[in-house]
Amino acid sequence: MKQIILDSSFILTCIKQKIDFFEELFGTQILIPEQVINEIKNLKNPNSKLALKLLEKNKFKKIDLGKAHVDKLIIRFAKENPKTIIATLDREIKNKTKNQKLIIRGKKKLEII
């Protein structure tokens, strides 16, 4: 089963653009770091509240990546797990990882590149 790790930028952009990534990624194992969830909790905007509600209603695997900046932790996880797909809009994470990426095409469609 394919594994996909989600970053907060990806989750929030999907909420903003009304993309149900849980439905789109059905049949894959979705990994969301606790650090990403905490990052979303600390934001004070309507999209973050919607994102938290969506996360509560769906099944995913919560993982703990340790203590450090979230982006660095995701980069390290990606290097340790080269078959895991990275879902992010963060340029630094994209540039520093060789893993396949899950991107948003045309504001409505998810695509693995």
Give mean pLDDT, residues 91-106.
94
Instruction: Enter the tokens of residue 85.
Output: 């797909």
Number of domains in the chain: 1
Burial of 14 (0-12, 13-18, 19+ CB in 10 A): buried
93, 10 in Cβ contact below 8 A?
no
Q: Checking DSSP bridges between strand 85-87 and strand 3-6, what pairing results, if any? A: parallel
pLDDT score at 106: 87
Contact 33, 73 (CB under 8 A): yes
> Could you report the per-residue pLDDT of 46-92, keeping only the tens digit for each?
999 999 999 999 999 999 999 999 999 999 999 999 999 999 999 99
DSSP-assigned letters across all residues of 7-60:
PHHHHHHHHHTT--HHHHTTTSEEEEEHHHHHHHHH--SHHHHHHHHHHHHS--
- Model confidence at 94, pLDDT cuts 50, 70, 90, reads very high
* Residue span of the structural domain in which 95 resides: 3-112
What CATH number does the domain containing 50 carry? 3.40.50.1010
What is the pTM (predicted TM-score) of this model? 0.94
Identify the pLDDT of residue 21.
Answer: 95
> Rounded mean pLDDT of 88-100?
95
Amino acid (1-letter code) at residue 83: K
Please give the single-letter amino acid code of residue 64.
D
pLDDT score of 108: 85
Cα distance between residue 65 and residue 81, in whole Å: 12
Looking at residue 59, what is its pLDDT?
A: 94
